[in-house]
């Protein structure tokens, strides 16, 4: 891996996207814990143990948001830093959220396929998609870019593109 990658704006976009997905996942788990706490509170009555757990979980989530560096624990981050040659195929597509025909949100999803048939997805804002894809194309000349059905079938069958 080239040490200059870490400082490139496109790689910073990738790290922001990894962090954003981690925050959404942590928020979901904390929300589920608070909901479960409320259900137990309503149906089982209050005890000191339940009340303590109910107070600890949201504060634990806030602490994790402030102190953790989730991108360093991400498999995609480790793939970029330690084994970029394992990535053999990259493609992306546009996700559009348009309930009732009103476009509310557009976002690109980039997929990274590896030699060992693992797939990693990353959500990138629409405004930064081309910047990230151009940088990936320059930074990883060994990677094949773009979607193709035949390429997908070959990747599924024998791990090559």
* Per-residue pLDDT reduced to its tens digit, 32-72: 877 777 777 777 666 666 667 767 777 777 777 667 776 66
User: Would you tell me which CATH number, out of the four given (3.30.70, 3.30.720, 2.30.30, 3.30.1380), belongs to the domain 86-158?
Assistant: 3.30.720
The answer for residues whose C-beta is within 8 angstroms of residue 128's C-beta and 6 or more apart is: 10, 13
Put simply, whether the predicted model's pTM sits higher than 0.85 gets the answer no
């Amino acid at each position: 891996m080239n040490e200059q990658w870490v400082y490139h704006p496109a790689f910073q976009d990738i790290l922001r996207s990894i962090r954003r997905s981690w925050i959404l996942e942590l928020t979901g788990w904390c929300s589920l814990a608070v909901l479960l706490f409320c259900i137990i509170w309503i149906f089982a009555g209050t005890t000191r143990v339940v009340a303590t757990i109910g107070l600890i979980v949201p504060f634990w989530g806030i602490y994790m948001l402030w102190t953790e560096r989730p991108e360093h624990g991400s498999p995609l981050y480790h793939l970029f830093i330690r084994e970029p040659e394992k990535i053999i195929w990259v493609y992306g597509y546009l996700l559009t959220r348009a309930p009732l025909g009103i476009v509310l949100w557009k976002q690109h999803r980039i997929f990274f396929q590896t030699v060992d048939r693992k797939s990693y997805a990353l959500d990138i804002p629409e405004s930064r998609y081309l910047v990230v894809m151009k940088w990936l194309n320059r930074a990883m000349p060994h990677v094949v870019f773009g979607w193709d059905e035949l390429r997908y079938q070959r990747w599924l069958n024998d791990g090559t593109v």
